[in-house]
Amino acid sequence: MNDVDHPIDLRSDTVTRPTDAMRAAMAHAEVGDDVFGDDPTVNALQERVADLLGFPAALFVSSGTQSNLCALLAHCGRGDEYVAGADAHIFTHEGGGASVLGGIQPQPLPHRADGTLDPADVEAAVKPDDPHFARTRLLCLENTLGGAVIAPEDLAAATAPARKHGLATHLDGARLFNAAVAGGGDPYAAARRITEHFDSVSVCFSKGLGAPVGSVLLGSREFVGEARRWRKVLGGGLRQAGVLAAAASYALDHHVERLAEDHANAALFAGALDGVPGLETGAARTNMVFARPVPGVAPRDLVERLAARGVLCTGGRPRLRFVFHLGVSRADTERAARVVREVLTEGVA
Ligand SMILES: *Cc1c(COP(=O)(O)O)cnc(C)c1O
């Protein structure tokens, strides 16, 4: 097999493709018109995820970005403000959608070294009721954050000042199940210990869970009703969406526990790169490994040289990121580690 035509793709867990069995589940899905609310497969998925994660209602949406944006628009109005970590996807990677479409401004906060927010910073970020200030309405946290698991105690600590001041709380749980699986035990019980701190939660099915499309947004009935309005406004009212919901449902049946394999592969990869000259590789964080080239080794050159040898990753900020997922076997992991080691040992131009 040609390594470059069949690369090991570690750029993201979004590159996962539906398996044959998932495609079969999609092909046989019973469908209706979800804008009329009568797609049985969508309805079943929404009810199932709401039950599993302890919420009254859920909404199937096109993407994680659309899910977060529906949440922001449902929680906040024009002139309102949301508080989030400065590295949070909702602030850094969603095109400023809250500002563009909602007239909602972000209030970013610094992260501590472990990715958590300091509750004192959250407290200080809540503005007094004064016409000089935007109205602080919402706290958004993320778990996992850059692959790092944020412990339930830290979620409780950061959300406490928000509750005290009457803010709503939203969790961007794009990789909620990675966080839930990381501690071992029942993943759904672990997921609920995370989600119980929030009024709304977004979960992606198109990342490590391996579905081609889709996220689910959870919250109260009233909140989900409001989010449903915004989903339509955003052009996200899909019709026979059951073919997509079937993939997400299949992922819940078959791809949750196996996330532990991705975490094991990430740990194996990080261990194999330990001590490679030219690269400072951190410990695996759930399904991700970050490596920082030493001064003199240009990240972009490294990304290109690895790609030329059939290993794809992202890089240049200035860390390289390698993400493990269901399209990457243990043998692929070993091969990828070997390639990285060889490329760095050969030196980088
Ligand atoms: C990927 C991701 C999203 C957005 O999901 P898309 O489906 O790509 O829009 C949101 N939050 C986090 C933390 C993510 O990793």
Q: What is the pLDDT of residues 42-78, one digit of tens each?
A: 999 999 999 999 999 999 999 999 999 999 999 999 9
Q: Is the pLDDT of residue 261 over 70?
A: yes
pLDDT number for residue 2? 54
The fourth-level CATH superfamily of domain 8-15+258-346 is Aspartate Aminotransferase, domain 1 (3.90.1150.10)
Residue 250, number of CB atoms within 10 A of its CB: 23
pLDDT number for residue 348? 54
Judged by DSSP in three states, 120 sits in helix
Average pLDDT over residues 301-315: 95
64 lines ligand 1 (CB under 6 A): yes
| Domains 8-15+258-346 and 31-253 agree in fold | no
pLDDT number for residue 4? 76
Helix pair 330-346, 259-273: axis angle to 10 deg: 20
pLDDT range class, residue 169, cuts 50, 70, 90: very high
Q: Is the pLDDT of residue 303 over 80?
A: yes
Is the domain spanning 31-253 CATH 3.40.50.300? The answer is no
Q: Is the pLDDT of residue 27 over 70?
A: yes
142 lines ligand 1 (CB under 6 A): yes
CA 140 to centroid of ligand 1, rounded, Å: 14
pLDDT number for residue 319? 92
Kindly list the domain boundaries of the chain, sorted by start residue: 8-15+258-346, 31-253
Residues pairing with 139 in the sheet: 83, 169
Task: Count Cβ neighbours within 10 Å for each residue of 48-84 and write b for 16 or more, e otherwise.
Answer: bbbebbebebbbbbbbbbbbbbbbbbbbbeeebbbbb
9 lines ligand 1 (CB under 6 A): no
Relative to the CA of 66, which ligand 1 atom is closest? Answer: 9
CA 205 to centroid of ligand 1, rounded, Å: 10
73 vs 103: CA distance, rounded Å: 9
Substitution site in 62, 65, 94, 321 for ligand 1 pocket (most atoms within 8 Å of beta carbon):
65
